[in-house]
Every structure is written in structure tokens, then in C-alpha cells.
Amino acid sequence: MIALADLHIGRLTLRGSATAIAHARATLPPALARARWPDEEAILVVRRIAVGGTGTELPARAAALAGQLAGRAVDPWTPGADGAEVVRFRDARDYRACLVRDLLAGTAARRWLWRHRAALLAHPTATALAELLGEDALALPALLEHPPLRACLPTLWCRLDAAAARSLLRAIGAATGWHGAISDALASRAAEAAGSGADLMTEAQTHHERISGDEIRPGPEPGPSPPPTGPAATRAGSPRRPAPPGAAAHGTLPASDPLVVLEALLTLWRCTPAALAGPQGGEVLRGAAAALAELGGGQDAESATARASGPGRARTAGGDLPDARRRRDAGAGSIPAGSPASRGFAPPASIRVGASPRAIAAVNARPAAPPRAGAPSEVTDPFAVTVTATQAEVDFHTGRGGLFFLLNVLNHPGLRAWRGTLHEPHAGWRELVRLALRLELAPDAPLTGFLAEACALEGEQDPVAKLAGLAKLPARADPVAVDRAVLRHVGDAALRALHAERPARVRASPSHVDVHLRLAEVDLELRRGGLDLDPGWLPWLGRVVRFHYDRSDAADRGGSSP
């Protein structure tokens, strides 16, 4: 059974008397919603359901046939889907990723499974992509991490234009609350244009015309379209020259161009979302965009870093910049073939597993603030750190599911000013671990491994040692305010309840964390303090966090009770 709001009927044809038609039209949708559909996350697209009978028989027969078809659903990513009667997507992310793939390949309008998206397909490709990616902007990092879509990402960045990137940025800003930072990063474009005359706009416009003039021919079968390997086709009469494949390639785009800002935003979303949510989010985003634009201008990492950092000597996590360049030239780093980084431009961290030395140099382009006395190893600037992509989708069980309730403590309205001081990479996860350790809430082995990965802690030691080392490091943000909030708003009874064993299944992606708990273990003390309420979107964490309360067997599966 599914919710009636999740059922979408594209076209309904009924034949019979007016009374029978009216009855069938009113009762058919609820009957279909009660059919035997797969789990609640899956999305099924059925080509047609044809049944006969009286007005009272039609709904039940249609529901029975729908249940039978659901059992024969085909994977929409396979060529066999075009001849199937029903396809099944794993979830909304899988659905959007497949549609992105088909839009880029030019096959979406020819496939029957996208007929219900006719309004979207009527737009130009760039506009359709921006609208589709912005439908659930909070899930964008997870969407770009979807494995079947990764081969298409180079083409995606080539197809997006400035208008589409601006539209997508608007959707992200509205969903995340980062609209102020995004507006600040884009607003500097007018000042840049005023200072450099018309040449800047003409140059950027010429770049967009070359991009839009490229021809990416779709293959005969729906599938990932490979990036162009030879000279790109251009308009008739124009000289044949390869078009710049990246958003800021060859330095033709300023740092305030929407495409550059979008790439910088996605990078920061993965490593320092708290900085975007802070009062200096605009400055942080502008700095990241400027570093990416400079590296996209064909300069080496040393020159870009030297100008940004002044007389100080910039360093990457692995050593000096010359050493980083040698590793880059030797092929170090995990960079998808055809990605902007592989062509001399640092792509968003959300589209790759690891960060290349060139991307590391980009975020290290700004100088680090002098360390405080007594903390010689502390780095206080959010850019003077290695961009480390955290784990992709994970699914595990833990006996310490209640530790996630501390996110509501850190998200308390009284700590708004404190959250504005979070500039450390992956600060949200690290402050969660620090608070848990101060409260002596030791995570078990599965949760320890997840938290060590989420905090992006480096080193060869085991996860337990990594978390212990994090507790010994000087805190970037003042812990006193958090401890006072715990004493004032949580209370002793709730703290005792937090220490109780609380089995949970945790499913985490680059955009969401879903914690499935047993309904029978709801604690009134925690509820009085609001600790077990659904946090939702946490801008300083960069994730959507949901607490699901299920039956015992449903919690073990990670699904909801019927």
C-alpha cells in the first residue's frame, strides 16, 4: 500500500455509462494505492493497465493487475526497459539519476517511461537539467554520487549554462538557507564587470556560445554518453577548435560566474557546510570560487596559491605545493576520467571519491590564520585543509542510536551564535563526537567507524584511536557554550536516558542520515527535552537527519511499519 498522493496516473480512459465512469473514476485511485506495491522507497512506472468489467469491478481488477506487473518490473538502466511494461527505480535518487542520464544522451523524449515528464522534456536540455536537479536540492550531493550516473558527469558540466546554473543555485539556496552566501558570491559579478568594462562579459558570453555550440551526439541505445575525446563540432563557418570543457576552463569565466560558484558550493557542501551557514558564508564561498577560477585559468597550483597567500608559504596536507604538483603529474588522486579536474580544473568534491592534489591546492589557496598560543598544530581557516570526501552510502546497525539525539542539542536555538563560529572541516560531525565524548557516551564499533569516516580523520590507526585523538585536539569552537546548553535544556534524567542501549539501523548517504529506532523504546524523558524529535535539514551539518520510529522488525529492516 502506498499513499494516495504518491500515485500519479498519466492518462485514464474509461468507457461505459456516465454513472459507471464516475464511479470508477472516484474509486480507481484509492484501489490502486492499496495494491501490492514494493517497498515505500521504490518508484514504479507502469506503461499501461487494461482491464474490463463493471464499474464496481474495475478498481479491484486494476489493482490486482498492477500488483502482478510490479513483480515483473525491469531495471530502467538496462536496454530491456524500453520493451518492458513496467520499470522499477530503487528510490527517488535512482529515478532522477536515470532521467539525467537520458537527458544528456538525448534519448529521454523517445523512452516511454518519461512520458509523464513531458513538461520537463519540452525545455532545452540545460533548463531541464537545472529543473530536475533542483526538484530535491537537498539530495543533490547524493544524486551526484549515484554510481550509474558518474560516467555522465563530465557531459553534465558541459551541458549546464550560466542561466541553468543560476536557477539551480536559486533552488539550493531556498532549500538550504544558504541563499545569502550564494547571493554574495554572485553579486560580485556586477562589480567585476563594472571594473573591467565590457571585455569581461563579452569573453564570458563567447565561452558560453562555444559551449552551447558543441554537439554531443546521443548513441542509438540509452546509456551514459562518454565525454568528447576529439575536437568539438562548432557552428558552420567557425574555426574548428576544441571548446573549453570545464566551467572555468582556460580562465574565460570569472569567479562570480554561476557555473564556478556552483562548483565551489558543491565542494564546500561536502567539507565545510557549517562555514556556508555562518555569518561569513559569502566570503567563504567567494574565496573558494576564486581559487577554482584561478586554477581553471591554466595556471599551475603554485602560482595561484602564491598570489592568494602572499609571502607565506602555502602547504597542502601532504607537503609543499611542488611536491603536490609532482604527485599530480604522476597521476595521484582519484579523478574520474573526463572530469573537469582531469582537464586542469578542480571539480566538486561531491562527484569524486577522493580529492586530487590540484583540488587540495585550490582550497589551500587562502592563507591560514596564525595558530593560537598553545595550539601550534591548529588550523583555523576553513580553506587551509585537505578536501576529503566522506563516505558514500552506508547501512549499519548500532546499539548506540541515541547518540544521534545530541544533534538536537547542537541545533538548539540558543547555540545559533556558537554554530556561526564553526569553520573546521566537517565541523558538525566533529563537534558531535566531542560532545558525546565529554558526556561519556562512547559509541560502539560500527558507529565509531561511521563517525571516524564522517569526521574525515586521517591516519593509519583504528577508528577508536582516531576519535580519541580528535578529543585531544584543541577545540575550534568554544565547548563551554555547548556544555551550558546541555545543563540548561537537557537535564539529568534525559542524560541518563541517553546512556541507555538504543538499537538502531543507520542509513546514510552524502545528503541524508536516516536513523531507524524501535517504537517501543521511545523515552518520555528524551521527548520532554525534545531530543528525539526529527531534526530535518541541518545547515551546519550539510545533511538531512530523520528519526524513524518503527516496529522492532521494521527497524531491523530499516523500513517503516505499515
Q: Which three cell numbers stand for residue 60?
A: 479491484
Q: What is the pLDDT at residue 418? A: 92
CB of 294 closer than 8 Å to CB of 248: no
Cell 531534526 -> residue: 535
pLDDT in tens, 521-541: 888 888 888 889 999 999 999
Q: Domain check: are 418 and 510 in the same one?
A: yes
* pLDDT score, position 392: 64
Residue 444, pLDDT above cutoff 50: yes
452/534 same-domain check: yes
Q: How many domains does the chain have?
A: 3
pLDDT digits (tens, 9 = 90+) for 473-527: 666 677 888 888 888 878 788 888 888 899 999 999 999 999 999 988 888 888 8
The three cell numbers locating residue 411: 541545533
- What is the average pLDDT score of the chain? 73
If asked whether residues 409 and 532 sit together in one domain, one would say: yes
Predicted pLDDT of residue 235: 33
In the listed set 255, 270, 299, which residue is the last one of a domain according to the structure? 299
Q: How far apart are CA 149 and CA 91, in angstroms?
A: 14
Look at residue 303 and tell me whether its pLDDT is greater than 60.
no
Confidence tier at 9 by pLDDT (50, 70, 90): confident
What does the pLDDT look like over 551-560, one tens digit per residue? 755 455 544 4
If asked whether residues 85 and 128 sit together in one domain, one would say no
Paired with 397 in beta bridges are 505
* Cα–Cα distance, 332 to 334 (Å, whole number): 7
Looking at per-residue pLDDT, the higher value among 159 and 392 belongs to: 159
Q: At which residue does the C-alpha cell 532522477 appear? A: 96
Same domain, 400 and 511: yes
Q: What integer is the mean pLDDT of 173-192?
A: 85
Task: Clarify whether residues 15 and 137 are in a common domain.
Answer: no
Least confident residue range of 189-203, 246-260, 263-277, 501-515: 189-203
Task: Place 35 in a pLDDT band, splitting at 50, 70 and 90.
Answer: low
Q: What average pLDDT does the segment 350-363 reach? A: 33
Per the confidence metrics, is the pTM higher than 0.75?
A: no
What residue numbers bound the domain in which 280 lies?
93-105+121-190+244-299
* pLDDT for res 2: 65
| Residue 359 located in a structural domain | no
User: Considering the domain boundaries, does residue 328 fall inside one?
Assistant: no
Mean pLDDT of 347-359: 33
Report d(CA 453, CA 392) in Å as an integer: 10
